[in-house]
Amino acid sequence: MVAKRTRVVGIFLAALAVGCGDSAEDTAAPSGPWDEGVALGAEPQVAGDAERGRHILLNGDYMTCGVPLALYDNPALGGMVDAGFGNVSREDVIPGREGRNADLPYSLNAFTSPDGAEVVTTNCLGCHGGKFDGDIIIGMGNATADFTTPLGGDTSVPLTDDVLDLLGLTEPEKANLKKVFGRAAVLGPQTKMRTIGMNPAEMFAVILMVHHDRETLAWSDDEVTPVVPKDHDGNPIADPRMTSDPPPWWRAHKKNALFYNGMARGDHRGTMALATSVCVDSVDRAREVDAMFTDIQAFVSSVRAPEYTRSVDAALAGEGAALFADNCAGCHGTYAGMVHPDRSEADETYPNLLIPLDVIGTDPAVAEAGTVHSPELVEWYNGSFYGEITRMEPSDPFPGYMPPPLDGIWATAPFFHNGSVPTIELVLNSKARPAVWKRVDLDSTNFDEDALGWPYEELDYSQADAPEEEQKFIYDTSYWSQSNAGHTFGDHLSDSERRAVIEYLKTL
């Protein structure tokens, strides 16, 4: 194992030296904690049409079922439907969408379901569309998505045929509504998060696998493959809700393996398509949806980070670039941008390393999900239709995390895979991180340019001890999967060195 690591890293460093031999900075860090990492190799991807993918993403029917549009448009009931979608603002539209989608919030798609009903439901941008300085950015993680109320709103209302007749719905509309309510009743309770911004995608994936038959993909409201999530010592975890922070799509084109722990290998579209499987009931339907994902994947790979919109101190950023080359580039790669006007995107390097848990030291829950807590699901996935497209390999060669590409990193607070750290300044100073904190507000224009992140308040009481109305704004790092430990690679920097590195990160 050790020999293999050294060899792979050695090849990587040699490649760096050849590729960027003109810049001393890039080769200045011959050894460091990156030596413990293993490079994950590139694999072929099916080519698609990015333009068509964007169109499908924003107008298409890949989610396959939804709430009848007639209810969303109903003045008396629309509010309830909205609440089920997480109260997304009806003002948040993006230009260029088609038909009914033109005036829907950007995170909803209206379409005709396969059985002929006009329906509306959340698209990928509910999690992968965020805001910075008030602008909607497609592909940026949504840091304010609210999953603190159960998905689908109040699913306790009995949907008898009498009630549905009263609403004047057609048969296909009724069938869609029943399906959505039924799935939400299963998904909702286990995906209710503690804090606004916490994302339940990992939990969704777990439940989707537990309730779908692996061979036929038929859905069952009962568990088909029950799992009892276990901790490190093999004891059941009482509350296995795991949080995640949706990563920006502009990393995907650099990454040979997807997900924070690098477990998704091969062509990438399988795991993305799994995210749509909530309404899928058969392999045939899964295949139809998969056909759209060749293009959606091409779009995801075409997304690039926005440019920093505020001012940058170029001299300070230059000092930061040298520090970055010595302390960070071995893991996070090298970049073009303001400090390196001579480089183009093609000159950038990204080592695609997986860093073992004991070296990175951040919360282990996500890295160990497929190896310790619920390995049954890796088996489910790899033996399913989706596993024929993308393989799930959470322990190859060991559980760990990939150092993400840092393009546009200034826009993507909070940080780490679990969103446990509110600013980059704190990513670079592990001892100063607050154990319990909350954002001052959820306004995307209220941004801390010095610390690079969201202004926050440190609290001296736990989330459980906070007044109820305050609780959903509080991030408490004492819960399972929410630790803010690790990544101590900036701790030895002085405050002024840290300032310089931060200034440099604004240029990526």
Structure tokens at 147: 């999953």
34 binds ligand HEC, rule: CB under 6 A? yes
* Structural contact between residues 418 and 243, judged by C-beta atoms closer than 8 angstroms: yes
Binders of ligand HEC among residues 309 to 338 (CB under 6 A) are 327-328, 330-332
Q: Select 68 or 408, whichever has its Cβ closest to ligand HEC.
A: 408
Of 403, 408, 434, 453, the one binding ligand HEC by CB under 6 A: 403
User: Greatest CA span in the chain, whole angstroms?
Assistant: 75
Cis-peptide, bond into residue 158, ω within 30° of zero: no
* Structural contact between residues 420 and 244, judged by C-beta atoms closer than 8 angstroms: no
Distance CA 230, CA 443 (A): 38
Tokens 């930061």 locate to 320
The residues, any chain, with a CB within 8 Å of residue 270's CB and separated by 6 or more, are 264, 290, 386, 387, 388, 389, 390
Of 177, 303, 366, 500, the one binding ligand HEC by CB under 6 A: 366
Residues in the interface with ligand HEC (CB under 6 A) total 50
Instruction: Give the residue from 42, 41, 45, 119 showing the smallest Cα distance to 293.
Output: 45
Of 20, 110, 177, 300, the one binding ligand HEC by CB under 6 A: 300
Structure tokens at 299: 């779009």
71 binds ligand HEC, rule: CB under 6 A? no
126 binds ligand HEC, rule: CB under 6 A? yes
String of contacts with ligand HEC for each residue 383-402, x by CB under 6 A: ------------------x-
132 binds ligand HEC, rule: CB under 6 A? no
244 binds ligand HEC, rule: CB under 6 A? yes
Sign of CA dihedral 143, 204, 483, 478: positive
Q: Select 175 or 321, whichever has its Cβ closest to ligand HEC.
A: 321
Question: Minimum CB separation from ligand HEC for residue 276, in Å?
Answer: 5
Q: Select 68 or 400, whichever has its Cβ closest to ligand HEC.
A: 400
Of 59, 276, 384, 429, the one binding ligand HEC by CB under 6 A: 276
159 binds ligand HEC, rule: CB under 6 A? no
* Structural contact between residues 168 and 204, judged by C-beta atoms closer than 8 angstroms: no
296 binds ligand HEC, rule: CB under 6 A? yes
CA 148 from chain centre, in angstroms, equals 17
Q: Side chain identity at 239, as an amino acid letter?
A: D
430 binds ligand HEC, rule: CB under 6 A? no
Q: Select 487 or 499, whichever has its Cβ closest to ligand HEC.
A: 487
Question: Minimum CB separation from ligand HEC for residue 362, in Å?
Answer: 3
Instruction: Give the residue from 359, 368, 369, 372 showing the smallest Cα distance to 403.
Output: 359
247 binds ligand HEC, rule: CB under 6 A? yes
Cis-peptide, bond into residue 341, ω within 30° of zero: no
Of 199, 374, 481, 483, the one binding ligand HEC by CB under 6 A: 199
Of 137, 177, 372, 409, the one binding ligand HEC by CB under 6 A: 409
Distances (CA, A) of 453 to 416, 431, 505: 12, 17, 12
Structure tokens at 44: 């072929």
Distances (CA, A) of 61 to 19, 69, 110, 161, 331: 43, 14, 8, 26, 39
250 binds ligand HEC, rule: CB under 6 A? no
Question: Minimum CB separation from ligand HEC for residue 259, in Å?
Answer: 3
Q: What residues line the site for ligand HEC (CB under 6 A)?
A: 33-34, 124, 126-128, 199, 201-202, 204, 244, 246-247, 249, 251-252, 255, 258-260, 272, 275-276, 296, 300, 327-328, 330-332, 355, 359-360, 362, 366, 401, 403-404, 409, 412, 415-417, 424, 427-428, 487, 489-490, 501
